Copies of this chain bind each other. A is one copy, B any other.
Amino acid sequence: GARCPPPLSGPAAARGTARAGGSAPPPVPLWAGPGAARGSGAGCSYPQKNAEILSSQYGINLFLAGLLLTFAWAVHAVGISKSHLLSYLITLMLVQLLWMLWYLCRSCTQRRLIRDKDTHAGARWLKCGITLFAVITLILDSFKIGYYVDFSNCLSPTEGIFPVTHAAHTILQVYFLWCHAKDIIQSFKTLERFGVIHSVFTNLLLWTNGVLTESKHQLNEHKERLITLGFGNITIVLDDHAPQCNCTTTTLCSIFSQGIYYLYPFNIEYHILASTMLYVLWKNIGRKVEHHQQYKTPFKFHGITVGMIFGLIVLTSTIAIVVVYLIQIGRSKIKSELALTMFYLHAIFVLVLMCTAGVIALLIYRLDDRSLDNSKNPARKLDAELLVGTAAGSWLLSWGSILAIICAQAHPKYTWYNLPYSILVIIEKYIQNLFIIESIHREQEKVNDDIKTLRIVTVSQGSTLTLTPSYKEIYNGHAAQDAGELPCLFRGSICARERVVSSGDNEGTSQGDGSGIHFASEFSLCSRSSVADNKRRILKNIAAFLFLCNLSLWIPPAFGCRPEYDNGLEEIVFGFEPWIIVVNLAMPFSIFYRMHSAASLFEVNCKT
Which residues of chain A have a CB within 8 Å of any CB of chain B?
7-19, 21-22, 26-30, 34, 36-37, 40, 42, 45-50, 53-54, 56-57, 60-61, 64-65, 67-69, 71-72, 75-80, 363-364, 366-372, 374, 384, 388, 391-392, 395-396, 399-400, 402-403, 407-409, 426, 430, 433-434, 437-438, 441, 443, 445, 502, 504-505, 507, 509, 517-518, 520-521, 523-525, 527-528, 531, 534-535, 538, 572-575, 578, 582
> Given contacts A30-B364, A36-B367, A61-B399, are A524 and B22 in contact (CB under 8 A)?
yes
Cβ B34 vs Cβ A363 within 8 A: yes
Tell me, rounded to whole Å, the shortest Cβ–Cβ distance linking A382 to chain B.
15
Q: Which chain B residue lies CB-closest to A69?
A: B403
Cβ A573 vs Cβ B528 within 8 A: no
Cβ A388 vs Cβ B71 within 8 A: no
Q: In the complex, which residues of chain B have a beta carbon less than 8 angstroms from the beta carbon of A54?
A: 434
Q: Which chain B residue lies CB-closest to A23?
A: B520
Identify A369's interface contact among B42, B69, B391, B395, CB under 8 A. Answer: B42
Q: In the complex, which residues of chain B have a beta carbon less than 8 angstroms from the beta carbon of A426?
A: 61
> Given contacts A57-B430, A509-B19, A574-B77, are A400 and B12 in contact (CB under 8 A)?
no
Tell me, rounded to whole Å, the shortest Cβ–Cβ distance linking A531 to chain B.
5
Question: How many angstroms from the CA of A367 to the CA of B29 in the assembled complex?
Answer: 8
> Given contacts A79-B407, A79-B408, A509-B19, are A30 and B367 in contact (CB under 8 A)?
yes
Question: How many angstroms from the CA of A48 to the CA of B395 in the assembled complex?
Answer: 24
Q: Which chain B residue lies CB-closest to A384?
A: B53
Cβ A395 vs Cβ B42 within 8 A: no
Cβ A369 vs Cβ B47 within 8 A: yes
Cβ A22 vs Cβ B520 within 8 A: yes
Q: Which chain B residue lies CB-closest to A572?
A: B78
Tell me, rounded to whole Å, the shortest Cβ–Cβ distance linking A14 to chain B.
7
Question: How many angstroms from the CA of A9 to the CA of B502 in the assembled complex?
Answer: 11
Interface centre among A48, A430, A445 (most CB of B within 10 A): A430
Question: How many angstroms from the CA of A430 to the CA of B531 in the assembled complex?
Answer: 57
Cβ B29 vs Cβ A531 within 8 A: yes
A-B pairs, top 4 by smallest CB distance, nearest first, are A9-B371, A79-B407, A18-B521, A12-B504
Question: How many angstroms from the CA of A163 to the CA of B520 in the assembled complex?
Answer: 69
Q: In the complex, which residues of chain B have a beta carbon less than 8 angstroms from the beta carbon of A72?
A: 403, 407, 573-574
Cβ B30 vs Cβ A534 within 8 A: yes
Identical chains bound together, number: 2
Question: How many angstroms from the CA of A387 to the CA of B445 in the assembled complex?
Answer: 41
Question: How many angstroms from the CA of A61 to the CA of B504 in the assembled complex?
Answer: 38
Identify A10's interface contact among B40, B67, B71, B369, CB under 8 A. Answer: B369
Q: In the complex, which residues of chain B have a beta carbon less than 8 angstroms from the beta carbon of A363?
A: 34, 37
Cβ A517 vs Cβ B9 within 8 A: no
User: 25 A-B residue contacts at CB 8 Å?
Assistant: A9-B369, A9-B443, A11-B445, A12-B502, A13-B505, A14-B528, A15-B505, A22-B520, A30-B364, A30-B367, A30-B534, A30-B538, A37-B366, A53-B388, A53-B434, A57-B391, A57-B434, A61-B430, A65-B402, A68-B396, A68-B399, A68-B582, A71-B578, A72-B403, A77-B575
Question: How many angstroms from the CA of A78 to the CA of B572 in the assembled complex?
Answer: 7
Cβ B42 vs Cβ A367 within 8 A: yes
> Given contacts A9-B504, A12-B504, A78-B572, are A399 and B367 in contact (CB under 8 A)?
no
Cβ A64 vs Cβ B399 within 8 A: yes
Q: In the complex, which residues of chain B have a beta carbon less than 8 angstroms from the beta carbon of A60?
A: 388, 392, 395
Q: Which chain B residue lies CB-closest to A362?
A: B50
Cβ B407 vs Cβ A56 within 8 A: no
Cβ B573 vs Cβ A78 within 8 A: yes
Cβ A441 vs Cβ B49 within 8 A: yes
Tell me, rounded to whole Å, the shortest Cβ–Cβ distance linking A84 to chain B.
8
Identify A521's interface contact among B19, B364, B374, B395, CB under 8 A. Answer: B19
Q: In the complex, which residues of chain B have a beta carbon less than 8 angstroms from the beta carbon of A505?
A: 12-13, 15-16
> Given contacts A78-B409, A372-B47, are A399 and B65 in contact (CB under 8 A)?
yes
